[in-house]
Amino acid sequence: MEIRQIECFLACQEHRSFTAAARSLNLVQSAVSTSVAKLERELGARLFDRTPRGLELTDAGRAAVMPARNMLRARLEIADGIDRARGQVRGEVVIGNLMNIHTLDLASVIADLRGRYPEVTLQMRQDISGVSGNIAGLRDGSLEIALVAGVSTEIAGLRLYPISSESIVLCTAPGHPLAGRPFGAADLDGIRFIDFAPGWGIRGIADDLFPARRSVIEVADQIFALELAAKDFGVLLVPRSVAETTDATVFAERAGAPIPWHLAIAHDAQRTPSNAARTVIDALCRCRRE
């Protein structure tokens, strides 16, 4: 069993296509399909069903994913240990991103890392399910580090490094009855509400605190949601830093106690980040946007 076979298997598992997997590995399609077929022969089990919809993991394939990831991780840990001993920072870091982060100048962090550590490669992943997708990626090993956000500063099984804290505010059109005034749960009962997709941290807050709201649409872009609110399509919750990006809506805090929103960079608590990942974590924690 060769490392290349494991890399091909995991690429096929992620992309569900020999062609797409080959592209991600900079290989020809035949090399990937041959590697997977050879691995299946060595294991004595079919790992994928080849269907019109693409590659689908068999039961044996699903059972092989985590051990395969552990094999690649072990190889990387050996190389990382040697790099650490030599004082080198290099390697690939797979990081889960979040949309519409305005308390962190992520572009500047990435550009600075490239200038200081040219041998570090970042793979940015963005899950449509937001924070919950990043948490799942950290737990299953498909992400080494990830941005997470929520009302709590702790997430079970993860090690969090704080980046910034702010509040969640309610945004409305200027002429809306709730415009600019502190609000409570009862104020949103039956109110037209612009929701985000299930799994997003703000969606979880809305479900927990304002269950009687009237959801009229689900969107996956906070800026577009603000545009809808400006046209009085509905109201929505966003971090204060996002609300401050436009003058077309007005915003207000929750009455009594503001809703907290903490941004952090995280990794699985049971895994030690690579030297390169540790460097990225430190850079993110230093570079909060003022």
What CATH number has the domain bearing residue 28?
1.10.10.10
Same domain, 14 and 155: no
CATH assignment of the domain containing 102? 3.40.190.10
Same domain, 82 and 206: no
Residues 170-212 have pLDDT tens digits of: 999 999 999 999 999 999 999 999 999 999 999 999 999 999 9
Same domain, 248 and 180: yes
Residues 213-256 have pLDDT tens digits of: 999 999 999 999 999 999 999 999 999 999 999 999 999 999 99
Same domain, 110 and 190: no
| Rounded Cα distance, 113 and 109, in Å | 6
Q: Which range has the worst mean pLDDT, 87-91, 115-119, 149-153, 240-244?
A: 87-91
Q: What is the pTM of this model?
A: 0.75
Same domain, 57 and 103: no
Q: Is the residue at 68 inside a domain?
A: no
Q: Is the residue at 69 inside a domain?
A: no
Domains identified in the chain, total number:
3
Look up the domain containing 110 and give its range: 76-164+264-287
Same domain, 50 and 169: no
CB contact at 8 A, 120 and 276: yes
- Residue carrying the six token digits 């603000």: 226
**What was the pLDDT predicted at 288?**
63
CB atoms within 10 A of CB 155: 18
Same domain, 152 and 269: yes
Same domain, 157 and 208: no
Task: Classify burial at 260, counting beta carbons within 10 Å of its beta carbon; exposed 0-12, middle 13-18, buried 19 or more.
Answer: middle
